[in-house]
Amino acid sequence: MAELITVKSKEEYKAVIIGVKQRKSIDYSMDELEGLAIARGVTVLEKTVQTVNKINQSTYLGKGKIEELKLMVEALDCNLVIANDELSGIQTRNLEDALKVQVIDRTILILDIFAERATTLEGKLQVELAQLEHRLTRLTGKGIAMSNPGAGIGTRGPGEKKLEVDRRHITKRIYDIKKELKEADKTRRTKRKKAEKAGLPLVSLVGYTNSGKSAIMNRILMMTGKEDKIVFEEDLLFATLDTSKRLIKAKDNRDFLLTDTVGFVSKLPHPLVKAFRATLEEASQSDLILVVVDGASSYQDFHLEVTEEVLRELSLSHKERLTVFNKEDLFKEDLEVKGKDNIAVSARTGFNFDKLLGEITERLYRDELIADLLIPFERGDILSYLMKHNRVMYIKHTEKGTELKVAVKEEEYKKLKEFYR
């Protein structure tokens, strides 16, 4: 149920992007919006910005600007206008009436991309939920825009009765989806519990969309002999929608689990942040966060700001982290990556990946050694102590006793000498 149009629609979209500037420059977010439109397969013909003191509550842009835009839309023969801010139902209707083409906002565009990309049932449900919630607020706000879901672009305003039916229909569907998601969430928790039992530390890749999170994951997988487990990476905003988790076999048994996550973008629609909270919850369980930045982008400060904001929203700001400046092969000359919690890498060339892996495992296994032990049966006390307090990576009961691979502190390591295998 994509709102822009049905996802499979073959219609070609040619768009003008509009924005209003109040105080701060919006160049960046306009470019970002263009990137989003391209990711959705829309051809962007023009971008235009109006500087205002206050956004017009009923028409978004001022009267003169709308006239100018109307001419532009006609001259370019475009069939879509995309606004950089979230539009109310009224703003959308008034703009559509004036311009005679479909008008959508950033939120609808992002939701539409997500709808197109989601692959797992849970991902799809989360996006649908976000879409419906967004739609519902616009309905109650006397909005137009939606009538038959997926019925095509610019569907005109439904009558009051239709509105009521739609509202009831949407509310019911929201209820059903929430129920289904709850179930899925339960299953995931059980699965996670199992993973926790495996005792391995968890590392999450987070950061702005298209910064190379999946590429970094793939490079690490290749380095550690897991080529068959690589994930999807693509020069697209929101290439990854469903998080995936992989076991990384690192040196000295310092294994860990690595998760790839959904990329961030500015003004990420709130219903989406909410919807993906469950998926990103995994990140909240992590022992280390790798914040990935596209070090080749001139907007990297902005990307870092956006990332920080989302991390804050997800209550992850306090986590231990390593900031990874990726795409070193494309860095501008003046970029210097300094500081012990920052590292420059290139997922493309493999530059600095040994160091990256070292930095990760060093942080995960700080002051810890991996002991490979054989504990005889009569020392059940030691076994249960280790099982309770330490990270157990491997356990096998044999005729001679219990074979155990466990992370221990240095002093403990020495004390366990007689059990070394």
Ligand X SMILES: Nc1nc2c(ncn2[C@@H]2O[C@H](COP(=O)(O)OP(=O)(O)OP(=O)(O)O)[C@@H](O)[C@H]2O)c(=O)[nH]1
Report the interface residues with ligand X, using CB under 6 A: 209-215, 233-240, 263, 326-327, 329-330, 346-348
CA–CA separation, 292 vs 419, rounded Å? 41
Amino acid at 308: E
Contact 146, 135 (CB under 8 A): yes
The per-residue DSSP string of 373-413 comes to EEE-GGGHHHHHHHHHHSEEEEEEE-SSSEEEEEEEEHHHH
Residue 210 near residue 236, CB atoms below 8 Å = yes
Task: Using the minimum distance from each CB to Mg ion, give the nearer residue, 231 or 343.
Answer: 231
Nearest approach in angstroms of CB 312 to Mg ion is: 22
Q: Which does 106 bind (CB under 5 to 8 A by kind): Mg ion, ligand X, none?
A: none
Query: From the CB of 107, what's the least distance to Mg ion, in Å?
Result: 21
* CA proximity to 361, closest of 251, 276, 278: 251
Residue nearest to Mg ion (CB): 240
Q: Which stretch binds Mg ion (CB under 5 A): 40-48, 89-97, 236-244, 394-402?
A: 236-244
* Matching residue, tokens 């439904």: 158
Q: Which is nearer to ligand X, 49 or 278 (CB)?
A: 278
Rg of the chain (C-alpha set): 26
- What minimum distance in Å lies between the beta carbon of 217 and ligand X? 8
| Min CB(306)–ligand X separation in Å | 12
Stretch that binds Mg ion, among 154-162, 232-240, 332-340, 388-396 (CB under 5 A): 232-240
How far apart are the C-alpha atoms of 201 and 407, rounded to whole Å? 11
Cβ proximity to ligand X, 217 vs 416, nearer residue: 217
Q: What is the DSSP string of 223-240?
A: HTT-GGG-----SSTT--
* Dihedral pair phi/psi, residue 336, rounded to 5°: -115, 125
Least distance in angstroms from the C-beta of 111 to ligand X:
16
Q: Choose the one of Mg ion, ligand X, none that binds residue 330, judging by a C-beta under 5 to 8 angstroms depending on kind.
A: ligand X
Residue 325 binds what, of Mg ion, ligand X, none (CB under 5 to 8 Å, by partner type)?
A: none
Q: Is 240 in the site for Mg ion (CB under 5 A)?
A: yes
Least Å distance, CB 39 to ligand X, is 8
Residues near Mg ion, by CB under 5 A = 213-214, 239-240
